[in-house]
Amino acid sequence: MHISEGVLSAPVLATGAVLTVVGLYLGFKNIKNEDFPKLAVLSSTFFVASLIHIPIGPSSAHLILNGLTGILLGWSAFPAIFLGLLLQALLFQFGGLTTLGVNTFNMAMPAVISFYLFRSFLKKKNLAFLGGFLSGAVSVLLGAIFVSIALYTTQKSFLKVAEILIAVHIPIALIEGFITGIVVIYLKKLKPEVLP
């Protein structure tokens, strides 16, 4: 779901950068000392999961696990995802430095939205899997929609690519929803204190 360098217009890049700076501020503001190990693990999980990708025009399709990151970190998903994207851009030229703000926002904001929508599900034993599933699936679909909006607002001719990008992410959303639901159930049994 990374957008490559040289694709987006300057206003879209600037908007993404500003929104990401706000997200990073709120994310760092909410981090407690005991959250740093969790943030590091989720950042590295995101880094590895999204390295295996299929190019689709100026973007790509891959696992993201932003729903898992969001449901466990809330606003702190911004620093976790930003760090993963920064390392991918510097080490593998995946995404890029100019698109870092837009790419971070496109993946972190859906994670935060899922945190607020589905965290209450985790308190109930019989709804924990559903909360995890919805968090994983909705985060991926929202991310694909945000990427599509960024492409479309840059140039209307990207509409077909945006439609394909959303369609390709539907099965990925289902897979991520299932993975996130399983992880939430596992954490609820073994380490419930890491859940919000």
pLDDT number for residue 110: 96
pLDDT number for residue 137: 95
Q: Closest Cα to residue 88, out of 17, 2, 146?
A: 2
In a domain, 3, yes or no: no
pLDDT number for residue 193: 78
β-bridge partners, 59: 56
In a domain, 18, yes or no: yes
Whether the model clears a pTM of 0.85, i.e. scores above it, the answer is yes
Q: Which parts of the chain have pLDDT scores under 50?
A: none
Q: In this structure, what is the dihedral angle of CA atoms 50, 139, 19, 23, given to the nearest 10 degrees?
A: -90
Total domain count, the chain: 1
The first and second tokens of residue 64, run together, are: 């993201």
Residue 92 is part of a domain; what is its CATH number?
Answer: 1.10.1760.20
pLDDT number for residue 24: 96
CA distances from 67 to 49, 82, 93, 158, 190 (A): 13, 15, 24, 26, 20
Q: Write out the residue range of the structural domain in which residue 19 sits.
A: 10-194
pLDDT number for residue 61: 67
In a domain, 179, yes or no: yes
Q: Closest Cα to residue 73, out of 124, 20, 109, 19?
A: 109
The first and second tokens of residue 168, run together, are: 């390709």
pLDDT 10s digits, 6-58: 888 999 999 999 999 999 999 999 888 888 888 898 888 888 877 776 666 65
Residues 15, 184: Cα–Cα separation, whole Å: 33
In a domain, 93, yes or no: yes
In a domain, 166, yes or no: yes
pLDDT number for residue 79: 95
